A and B are shown apart, each in its own frame.
Chain A
Amino acid sequence: MISTMYQLGTLDSAKAFLASLLVGIAFGFFLERAGFGSSRRLTGVFYFKDMAVIKVMFTAVITAALGLTCCIVLGWVTIEGIYLMPTVYGAYVVGGLIFGVGFVMGGWCPGTAAAGAASGKMDALIFLLGAVIGSALFNEMFALIKPLYEWGQGGVVFIYDTLGMSKGTFNIILSVAAVLMFWGCEWIERRRTGQSLGENASILKTLSVAVLTLAVVLVAVGAGRPSGEQPMGQAGGVISSESQLLEAIDMAQDHIEPEDLADRMLRRESGLIVVDIRPVIEYMDYHLPNALNIPMKDLHQTLMPYRNVGTIVLYSNGMTHPVQARDSLYRSGYTNAYILTDGLNGFIERCLTPVSLRDEIVPLEIAAKIRAWRSFFLGSEAPPQAEPATPSEPLPSSLLVDVQWLEKQLNRPDIRILDLRSQPEYSTSHIQNSLALNVENLRTNINGVGSMLQPGDMLAGYMSAMGIRPTDTVVILYGDKTQDATLAGIALERLGHASYRILNGGFAAWKSAGKPIVTDLPEIAASNYAVTKSDMFSVDYMTVLEYVRSKKGIILDVRPAEYYEGAKSNEARAGHIPGAINRPYTEDLVNVDDIPQLKPVEELARAYARLIPSENSTVVVYCRTGHQASQTFFVLKRLLGYKNILWFDAGWSQWAARQELPIE
Chain B
Amino acid sequence: MTKIKYTNPYLAGIGLGLTLLLSFLILGAGLGASSGLARIAACTELYIAKAHTLSSEYFGKWGQNPMRYYLVFMLVGIFIGGLCSALLANRMELQVERGRRSSVRLRSAFALIGGVLVGFASRLANGCTSGQALSGTALLLTGSFVFLICIFVGGYATAGLFRRQWND
Interface residues of A (CB under 8 A from B): 2, 4-7, 11-12, 16-35, 37-41, 43, 46-47, 52, 55-65, 67-68, 71, 76-77, 79, 81-89, 91-124, 126-140, 142-143, 145-146, 148-149, 154, 156-162, 167, 170, 174, 182, 199-200, 203-204, 207, 305, 444-447, 452, 454-455, 457-458, 531, 533
Contact = CB atoms under 8 A, between A and B. Distances in A.
Contacts of B77: 20-28
B112 A154 contact: no
A56 B23 contact: no
A34 B9 contact: yes
B124 to A, nearest CB: 4
A131 B34 contact: yes
Contacts of A62: 17
Contacts of B130: 27, 109-111
B86 A59 contact: no
Contact of B146 (A92, A108, A109, A129): A92
Given A30-B12, A106-B110, A98 B73 contact: no
Given A101-B117, A107-B107, 10 more contacts: A25-B81, A30-B85, A57-B134, A63-B18, A83-B29, A94-B150, A97-B154, A110-B33, A112-B129, A142-B58
16 contacts: A4-B26, A6-B27, A23-B31, A25-B81, A27-B78, A29-B81, A32-B81, A38-B97, A52-B9, A65-B138, A102-B115, A106-B117, A120-B95, A121-B97, A138-B119, A145-B124
Given A32-B85, A122-B96, A56 B16 contact: yes
Interface in B143-168: 143-159, 161-163, 165-166
A68 B113 CA distance: 37
B72 to A, nearest CB: 8
B57 A142 contact: yes
A20 B22 contact: no
B103 interface: no
Interface of B: 6-31, 33-34, 36-38, 40-42, 44-45, 51-61, 63-64, 68-71, 73-86, 89, 91-98, 107-108, 110-159, 161-163, 165-166
B51 A455 contact: yes
Contact of B117 (A18, A65, A128, A134): A134
Given A23-B77, A59-B13, A130-B114, A35 B6 contact: yes
Contacts of A55: 9-10, 13
By secondary structure, the A interface counts as helix
A457 B64 contact: yes
Contacts of A33: 6-7, 12, 15, 85, 89
A5 B153 contact: no
A29 B84 contact: yes
Contact of B151 (A23, A103, A149): A103
Nearest to B19: A26
Contact of B118 (A11, A110, A455): A110
Given A83-B29, A137-B119, A455 B54 contact: yes
Nearest to B23: A23
Given A121-B97, A145-B124, A132 B119 contact: yes
- Which of the listed residues A25, A41, A110, A140 has the most CB atoms from chain B within 10 Å of its own CB? A110
B28 A7 contact: yes
